[in-house]
Amino acid sequence: MINNTVKVSIIVPAYNVEARISKCLNSLVNQTTNEPFEVLVVDDGSTDRTSRIIDRFAGEYSNVRVIHKENGGVSSARNIGINGARGEWIMFVDADDYLDSHCLDRMLSHLQEREYQLAIVGFRLEDEAPQKDRNKIRQFSGQTGIGELICLDQWETKLSIIGPCGKLFKTDIIKKEELDFDETISIAEDTVFVLSYYSRINEAICYYDQDYIYWRSENSLSSYGKAPLSEIVEARSLVLQVQEKLFLKYRKNVPSLYMQSNIIDSTKIILMNGIYSKNSISRSGKLVGEFMDADIVKENIVSISSERGFNKIIAYALKHKQISILKIILICGRFRFWIGVKHAR
């Protein structure tokens, strides 16, 4: 139940993050805003010192609440957080990330201008120097505006377009529309949640101050190859289906290359995971081929000339069904990976 005295519920799923959780929570409890907010930490069955650390914060700060649960994954933790949220707005923060002390204050001040249903803050990686000249604001209104928003390049803009973190979501929209994180999948479930939320809104605002700080390791090569490649292919196909639904809703205003760009990005993610996968080249190539043959891929590769560099090679391979090109990329990438492993020993 939403509590009118709580403006924001910050949901932090936590699992075995004893080395990072204190920095995260310190950044949250020390926000400079005068608006009332709560920090809801969901302990997902941690087996290290995480539980003790977050319980200590709850004992010291009245606006920190802790829910302990059996391990069920980050989606179940976020869903429990949503169910327990009392604020008008919901914000997700990963336990190994942190916020600038003025983050909430700046985000909430912009929301007073009109009836926005989403706010997005800029981000940077932990080892990057913050860019001081990014304090611009962009508003997105109606189908045209939301269509433009979902087409933004998040690495170019430094705005998290498809991830759940660094955003303020309206709690009543999430609960009225019964939006949650799909606990039956472990890959891209957060992207599906965010894209589903976009389809329910008409007003959003972004500001480019880099107040959300991601821990670098979440963006490193070490994350590739951990999940089965078959699950990666299935997850990327699911994301494309959700993106296509958004495209169909905004097709009068969104360029058709939106879908092609997402397909190329998904192909590169699949290839990178294939390079680091324990599967044989033959098996990895077969899975890449299955993705290439999916109807959603074949129907949305529309132009090669619009692409540049490596993207043009990917687009050509997909459009002309040249699986051999993608297999060569897998072989070359895996060769470089194993050479690197050998030299590291």
For residue 75, give the CATH number of its domain. 3.90.550.10
d(CA 42, CA 52): 13
100 with 64, same domain: the answer is: yes
d(CA 161, CA 154): 6
- What are the angstrom distances between the C-alpha of 232 and each of 148, 261, 270? 27, 18, 7
Strands 118-125 and 167-170: antiparallel
66 with 157, same domain: the answer is: yes
Residue 151: band (very low, low, confident or very high) from pLDDT cuts 50, 70, 90: confident
Range of the domain at 53: 8-219
102 with 71, same domain: the answer is: yes
> Per-residue pLDDT averaged across 290-307, rounded?
88
pLDDT tens-place string over residues 80-128: 999 999 999 999 999 999 999 999 999 998 887 788 999 999 999 987 7
pLDDT at position 129, please? 74
3 belongs to a structural domain:
no
pLDDT tens-place string over residues 18-75: 999 999 999 999 999 999 999 999 999 999 999 999 999 999 999 999 999 999 999 9
